[in-house]
């Protein structure tokens, strides 16, 4: 009887944009209006289309975080999928443009917040599958409509996402000085724009009137930094690139690392 009661109230499937729900999806805010919902003992995952995400935020299901810029933001991981994606020689073959999906990284489930109880490591792992800094960004609430896309973002749209993420968490003078002092000069010249032998520094004025800074990246650098993670669904399997494929280069030091997923 207890099992029947426990599983008698599943989360409704969305009216538009439904893709796949796997496992018992409980009727709770984490899963509301999800194109993709996955609930297993070791993973809780919810992906939404742009329209679903806008509705989800509008209905008050996402706690925004106030950044030093003064703008409230949501923390999003960017994914893409297509019926044309295939597995070839054990690797994901992403040979076509995909549809965009978004996963909210709820701050209380993914970050340490002053005054809040810290989520334990096991729960963090369950609620934050496939977390990677390569495809996760802060997006201001008031720019979701303009920055997010229905389909896989173009190069120009990826650059805009990266610039927005950087603007809301720009550096103060001390942080800027430390960044430039610790960086490899050759790497700076390769990845940032220069004028008269000096890196170009952009300024950002916060809602409170404070000034923050960022050295200006080249567009080619942004395209190395901003990624959209491909995924496939085959039967009962949710498939992303293998962890060893998640390779990145530190644009300040040149060091290459295999980030995997946290």
Residue spans per domain, the chain: 2-169+219-258
Residues 228, 135: contact at Cβ < 8 Å? Answer: yes
Stated pTM of the model: 0.89
Strands (E), the chain: 20-22, 36-40, 43-47, 65-66, 72-81, 86-88, 91-93, 99-104, 136-140, 194-195, 198-199, 201-205, 211-215, 229-230, 232-234, 237-239, 247-249, 256-258
At 83 the pLDDT is 86
Plot region of 253 (φ>0 → left; ψ -120 to 50 → alpha; else → beta) = alpha
Strands 91-93 and 99-104: unpaired
Q: Which long-range contacts (CB under 8 A, 24 or more apart) does 51-56 make?
A: 51/16, 51/17, 51/150, 52/14, 52/16, 52/17, 53/102, 53/104, 53/144, 53/148, 54/144, 54/145, 54/148, 56/32, 56/104
- DSSP conformation class of 48: B
Three-state secondary structure string covering 209-256? CCEEEEECECHHHHHHHCCCEECEEECCEEECCCHHHCEEECCCCCCE
Q: Which of 162, 135, 126, 119 lies closest to 230, judged by CA?
A: 135
* Full pLDDT tens readout for the chain, 262 residues: 445 445 668 999 999 999 999 999 999 999 999 999 999 999 999 999 999 999 999 999 999 999 999 999 999 999 999 988 888 877 788 888 899 999 999 988 877 554 456 678 898 999 999 998 889 999 999 999 999 999 999 999 999 999 999 999 999 999 999 999 998 999 999 999 999 999 999 999 999 999 999 999 999 999 999 999 999 999 889 999 876 666 667 777 777 766 655 4
What span, in angstroms and rounded, lies between the C-alpha atoms of 146 and 220? 22
Longest dimension (CA), the chain: 76
Decide the pairing of beta strands 20-22 and 36-40. parallel
Backbone torsions φ then ψ of 219, nearest 5 degrees: -60, -35
Helix (H) or strand (E) holding 145: helix 144-147
Length of the chain: 262
Q: How far is CA 189 from CA 100, 158, 159, in A?
A: 33, 22, 19
């Amino acid at each position: 009887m207890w099992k029947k009661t426990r599983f008698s109230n599943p989360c409704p499937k969305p009216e538009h944009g439904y893709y796949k729900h796997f496992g018992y999806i409980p009727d709770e805010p984490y899963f509301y209006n999800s194109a993709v919902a996955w609930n297993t003992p070791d993973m809780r995952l919810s992906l939404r289309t742009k329209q679903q995400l806008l509705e989800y935020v509008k209905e008050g299901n996402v706690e925004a975080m106030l950044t030093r810029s003064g703008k409230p933001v949501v923390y999003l991981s960017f994914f893409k999928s297509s019926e044309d994606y295939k597995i070839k020689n054990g690797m994901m073959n992403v040979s076509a443009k995909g549809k965009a999906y978004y996963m909210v990284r709820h701050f209380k489930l993914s970050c340490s917040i002053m005054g809040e109880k810290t989520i334990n490591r096991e729960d963090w792992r369950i609620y934050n599958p496939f977390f990677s800094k390569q495809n996760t960004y802060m997006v201001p609430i008031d720019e979701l409509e303009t920055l997010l896309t229905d389909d896989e973002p173009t190069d120009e749209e990826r650059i805009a996402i990266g610039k927005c993420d950087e603007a809301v968490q720009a550096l103060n003078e001390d942080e800027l000085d430390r960044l430039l002092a610790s960086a490899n000069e050759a790497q700076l010249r390769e990845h940032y724009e220069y004028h008269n032998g000096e890196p170009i520094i952009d300024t950002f004025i916060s809602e409170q009137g404070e000034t923050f800074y960022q050295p200006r990246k080249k567009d080619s650098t942004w395209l190395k930094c901003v990624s959209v993670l491909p995924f496939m669904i085959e039967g009962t399997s949710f498939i992303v690139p293998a962890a060893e494929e998640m390779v990145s280069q530190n644009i300040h030091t040149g060091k290459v690392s295999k980030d995997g997923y946290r």
